[in-house]
Structures are given as C-alpha cells and as structure tokens.
C-alpha cells in the first residue's frame, strides 16, 4: 500500500515572505505599550544612575571617553590629558548617544549596500559595551542587570503575543501577555545568562592553566602538556559563542512558543542555527533589511507628525514665532527634539517648554518602541519558520495548555460545586449483541 503524497508546488516551499508580516504585527498597540513601558523603565534607570556623572568629556571638541577608546583602543593618553576636565557625562547618556549614531550610520550603510560599514557599526556597539564594563564595571553590572530583567519580561510578553497571533490569529490582551511573562520570567532571564556562565566556566580552566604557568620549573611544562585540553576548551567556547550570536534571537520566541524552560530554549536555538545556518542567516538578513525600510517609514511618519504640528502652531503665533521658538525648537529629520539658543522668558514659559519636551520625547519613545516590538516580533516569526524547516512542525502549532489550565482555574474560583451524581444502580452485565462470538 503506497502513501499519497502532496503535490510539490514550485513556490509553495518558500516561507521567507511570512517575515514581511512583522510590520503589521509590530504596530499592534499592546506590543507598543509593552515596549514603551520597558524603554521608559530602562531610560529612567539610566537617567537616575547618571546623576553621578563619571565619564570624562574633552571640553574643546566634546570627545568622550568612549570616542577615545573606540579610536585608540585604550584611554591612557586621554586620561593623562583630560583627567582634570570638569565636563562630565553619564555612562548611560554616553552609550545611548554613541550607539544611536552607530545605529543610524549602519542604516545608511545598509541603504548604500555597504556591508563593511554595517559590520563596522555593529562591531563599534560591542566595543562600547567592552568600554563600559572595563572602565565603569559596577555601573554596567547594575544597569545591564536591570535592563536584562526588564527586557526579559517585556520581550517574553511581546514574543508570546506574536506567537499566538502568527500561529492562530489570536491577539491576547496586555494582562494575559504580562502574566505569561511573569510566569516564565525565570526562564527568560536565565536563558542568555546560562550560556555566558558556561563560557565563563570553560574559560576559567584556561585561566587556571595560565596561572599554573607561573610556577617555577614545572609551570611552563604543564602549559605545554595541557595545551591540547586548552585548545579543546577554546573550541567549545567558540562553538557556544557562535551559537549565542546566531541563536540568541530565538531563545525568547522558543519559550513563547513551547512554554518551556531556559535549557530547552538554548537547545532549540542552537540546533536550529547549526542545522540550517544559511537559512537562518537568510531569514535574519531579510528581516534586518525589511526592518530598516519599516523604520525609515516610521521615522518619516514621526517627522511629518511633528512638522505638521509645528507648522500649524507657527500660523497661530505672531512676532516671527519668537515665543514658539523659545518653548519648542523646530524639529528636523535628524534631531526631533531640536536645538535653540533662545530661552523661555518666565516660569510659565519654562513649564510649557518642559511639557512640550516631555510630549515630543514620548513621540520619539514610541518610535523607538516600534524598533523593540519589531525585533521581538520578527524573531518570533523566524523561530516558527526555522522550527517548521528543522523539526517539520506546523506553523500553527503552539503550546497553550498552561494558559487553558490557568483560565479554567480562574473561572472556577468561587463557583459552586456541581451537584453530586446519583448513585448508579447495580446492573448485571449483559453480553453485547454486536460482539463476535468466541469459538
């Protein structure tokens, strides 16, 4: 007996167009609210920690420690020259401004098809992280711990919404998605930390071997003897590092789809990356290019929104719009907040300027929130496509058992117990007439 096979369609096996659904899904209000709240929490934490300004800024040209470190690779000469400078900045503000410039430079390089420029800007962001942890260690540990916790909760919630929406067309509410994020918070938080901890433990073996090399007489001999083991450990670290770089984006979606723990998320993300690396790379590049186009559109829309508002306000103001310029500098495409040398004339104008600044800042925050929402949504779609290709799992399959159980338990809280069923009467088992007779 032969099994019937489905006809092979010439374009039926292409799944990458499903990535283009990310924009429509990303602008869902629930996702934007979660991303905005997470962004506001991270920025508020950074601003509060920046009250203690520790980053040296070169007064004449505004060159920060990070700029000097990215250009020179060290800060020895910079510290000797500008250690007495009174101009200071916060670590968060320095990282934000630097990475924002690299982000937009990367987008321009992408539009020009400059692969080298894209790589350099991505590498520059990693250099910024190295600078932060190397020269502002305690600050970086505290800040990025808060950032990881906030993004784990918000990212897991956004991924869950995207997974249900992509798989079954459902749009869970804010409370439901946050409950999922809280329930899986430990798995979401520990998934990226676990692999970094494993790399650190393996690296500690190589460090111990290096320390043993300081022992007189036998130290160098021990290094020579155990170097093959060190090379094997380094190879394992390299494999894990590649898996983290390629599969980190799939860890949160794996938990959102499978309702699993951190180890299952790590296992799935690694297996998908190493099983089909070229397909994973293709999906990622497609999502990045499409995301850049969508961001350009969202940024243009935001700019148009601010310019239209400013234009109609100009019509109402008189005297060459001096009062308007004093409380709200005209925005431009590269700087939505604008800059001006004018100052409010009295305290009411100062309050008005502050309120306008907060409003414009919220608009900019929503634009950045779209980037966060798109990132998690696109990677959730990529996870579903990779799972379909590697595990042959249907795109509409998603684990919802825990949600159903919790919903049923909540629905039955306080409900009266069902009446007890009457006792069944004793019956004499009768033979089934349809049952075949025994021989």
Domain-by-domain residue ranges, the chain? 16-44+148-401, 55-135
Using the 8-state DSSP alphabet, how is residue 333 labeled?
S
Mean pLDDT of the chain: 82
pLDDT at 426: 44
In the numeric block, which tokens belong to residue 73? 């690779």
Distance CA 208, CA 376 (A): 39
Segment 326-353 mean pLDDT: 75
pLDDT band for 72, please (50, 70, 90 cuts).
confident
Using the 8-state DSSP alphabet, how is residue 342 labeled?
-
Q: Which of 23, 80, 29, 91 is nearest to 55 (CA)?
A: 91
In the numeric block, which tokens belong to residue 138? 């305690």
Cβ burial, residue 181 (10 Å; 0-12/13-18/19+): buried
H/E stretch holding 57: strand 55-58
The yes-or-no verdict on residue 200 having pLDDT over 50 is: yes
In the numeric block, which tokens belong to residue 313? 């306000």
pLDDT band for 118, please (50, 70, 90 cuts).
confident
Q: Which of 48-62, 129-143, 313-327, 381-395 has the lowest mean pLDDT?
A: 313-327
The yes-or-no verdict on residue 290 having pLDDT over 90 is: yes
Task: Write down the pTM of the prediction.
Answer: 0.81
Burial letters for 55-75: b for 16+ Cβ neighbours within 10 Å, e otherwise?
bbbbeeeeebbbbbbbeeeeb
Phi and psi torsions of 98, nearest 5°: -65, -50
Distance CA 321, CA 253 (A): 50
Segment 371-387 mean pLDDT: 94
In the numeric block, which tokens belong to residue 202? 């393996």
pLDDT at 323: 76
Helix and strand totals (H; E) in the chain: 15, 3
Q: Helix, strand, or coil here: 64? A: strand
pLDDT at 14: 67
Q: Which of 91-95, 99-103, 349-353 has the lowest mean pLDDT?
A: 349-353
pLDDT band for 405, please (50, 70, 90 cuts).
very low
The yes-or-no verdict on residue 404 having pLDDT over 90 is: no
The yes-or-no verdict on residue 353 having pLDDT over 50 is: yes
Distance CA 322, CA 338 (A): 15
Segment 343-372 mean pLDDT: 86
Segment 377-392 mean pLDDT: 92
* Sequence-ordered list of residues with C-beta below 8 angstroms from that of 374, at least 6 positions apart, any chain: 22, 23, 26, 291, 294, 295
In the numeric block, which tokens belong to residue 239? 């494999």
pLDDT digits (tens, 9 = 90+) for 222-271: 888 888 888 998 999 898 888 888 888 899 999 999 988 888 888 898 88
The yes-or-no verdict on residue 417 having pLDDT over 80 is: no
């Amino acid at each position: 007996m032969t099994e019937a096979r489905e006809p092979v369609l010439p374009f039926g096996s292409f799944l990458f167009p499903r990535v283009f659904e990310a924009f429509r899904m990303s602008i869902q209000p629930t996702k934007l609210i979660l991303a905005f709240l997470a962004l506001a929490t991270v920025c508020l934490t950074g601003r509060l920690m920046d009250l203690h300004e520790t980053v040296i800024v070169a007064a004449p040209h505004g060159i920060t420690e990070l700029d000097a470190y990215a250009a020179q690779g060290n800060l020895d000469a910079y510290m000797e020259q500008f250690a007495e400078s009174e101009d200071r900045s916060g670590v968060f503000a320095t990282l934000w401004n630097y990475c924002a410039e690299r982000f937009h430079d990367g987008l321009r390089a992408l539009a020009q098809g400059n692969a080298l420029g894209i790589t350099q800007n991505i590498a520059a962001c990693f250099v910024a992280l190295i600078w932060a942890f190397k020269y502002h260690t305690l600050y970086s540990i505290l800040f990025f711990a808060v950032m990881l916790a906030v993004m784990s909760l918000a990212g897991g919630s956004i991924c869950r919404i995207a997974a249900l929406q992509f798989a079954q067309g459902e749009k869970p509410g804010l409370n439901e998605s946050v409950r999922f994020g809280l329930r899986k918070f430990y798995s979401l938080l520990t998934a990226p930390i676990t692999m970094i901890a494993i790399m650190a433990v393996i690296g500690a073996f190589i460090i111990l071997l290096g320390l043993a090399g300081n022992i007189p007489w036998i130290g160098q001999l021990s290094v020579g003897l155990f170097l093959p083991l060190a090379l094997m450990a380094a190879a394992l670290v390299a494999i894990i590092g590649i898996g983290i770089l390629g599969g980190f984006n799939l860890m949160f979606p794996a938990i959102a789809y499978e309702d699993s723990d951190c180890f299952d998320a790590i296992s799935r993300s690694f297996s998908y990356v190493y099983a089909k690396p070229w397909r994973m790379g293709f999906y990622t590049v497609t999502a990045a290019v499409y995301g850049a186009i969508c961001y350009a559109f969202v940024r243009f829309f935001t700019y148009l929104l601010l310019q239209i508002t400013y234009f109609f306000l100009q019509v109402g103001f008189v005297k060459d719009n001096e009062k308007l310029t004093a409380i709200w500098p005209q925005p431009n495409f590269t700087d939505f907040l604008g800059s001006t040398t004018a100052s409010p004339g009295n305290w009411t104008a100062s309050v008005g300027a502050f309120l306008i600044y907060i409003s414009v800042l919220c608009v900019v925050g929503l634009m950045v929130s779209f980037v966060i929402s798109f990132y998690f949504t696109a990677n959730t779609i990529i996870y579903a496509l990779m799972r379909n290709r590697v595990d042959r799992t249907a795109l509409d399959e998603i684990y919802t058992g825990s949600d159903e159980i919790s919903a049923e338990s909540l629905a039955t809280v306080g409900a009266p117990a069902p009446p007890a069923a009457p006792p069944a009467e004793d019956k004499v088992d009768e033979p089934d007439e349809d049952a075949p007779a025994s021989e």
